[in-house]
Amino acid sequence: MLTNAGIEQSLVEVRQRIDQAAVRSNRDPGTIRLLAVSKTQPVSALEEAYRVGQRRFAENRVQEWLEKAPFLKNDCEWHLVGSLQTNKVKYLDQSIAMIHSLDRFSLLKTLNAKGEQCGIIWTTLIQVNIARDTAKAGLTPEEVPDFLYSIGDYPHVQVQGLMTIGSLNASAAETRGFFRQLRILRDTLQSKKRPGVDLRELSMGMSGDFEMAIEEGATLVRVGRQIFGARQKYN
């Protein structure tokens, strides 16, 4: 973990890089939101990021969100970006702003049932394995249209876009191509209106490639290491 001064400076630099990438691609920087991915980081690191203006945080695991959220103020926006097990849905509440990893019908059904029980409509993104990486979760691009058509049958789930995780072994050119393919897929699917679906968001890009993702259309970038430094051990 970086020192407090290091976290503050890193956030300044990341925000500057976001703005510059937006300008290069003729986009309004205000349309791009930075998620500080706090996986394995201690609460003190999140508190420092909050102190210097960061309000959007992302966790991979429900358990970490449950443990950390009470220490930060209520104006924080929490995103879940990791694989979500159906047996963890029961712990979620209305303070989750967005679930980025909707990737199967069993999760869709479980989220809808929990939402109906608690009076919550979940905002979600469909995770797409655009790189067809066998090590990554997500629907294939061919599976996405039928999945979207089913959303209308689950009124407590709304889909607001697509998410992808880049392939670890891909070159920069390949990664850019994957981001572009996701944007093209989103644009193609957005032209067809479906109940509960409005594909306004693209969640793509992490510490090593968020600028490239912005140039290809990302509206949400998920940055951890570039803000907080190396991951910490977390029980």
Phi, psi of 216 (to 5 degrees): -100, 5
Query: Token pair of 216, please?
Result: 């290809």
Give 93-106 pLDDT, tens digit per residue. Answer: 999 999 999 999 99
4-228 CATH choice from 3.40.50.720, 3.20.20.10, 3.40.50.1700, 3.30.300.30: 3.20.20.10
Phi, psi of 140 (to 5 degrees): -75, 160
When the pLDDT of each residue in the chain is averaged and rounded to a whole number, the result is: 94
Give 42-55 pLDDT, tens digit per residue. Answer: 999 999 999 999 99
How far apart CA 157 and CA 48 sit, in angstroms, is 33
Task: Give me the pLDDT at residue 117, please.
Answer: 96
Give residue for tokens 């020192």: 3
Question: Whole-model pTM?
Answer: 0.94
Task: Give me the pLDDT at residue 173, please.
Answer: 94
Give 159-214 pLDDT, tens digit per residue. Answer: 999 999 987 788 999 999 999 999 999 999 998 889 999 999 999 999 999 999 99
- Return the number of other C-beta atoms located less than 10 Å from residue 90's C-beta: 12
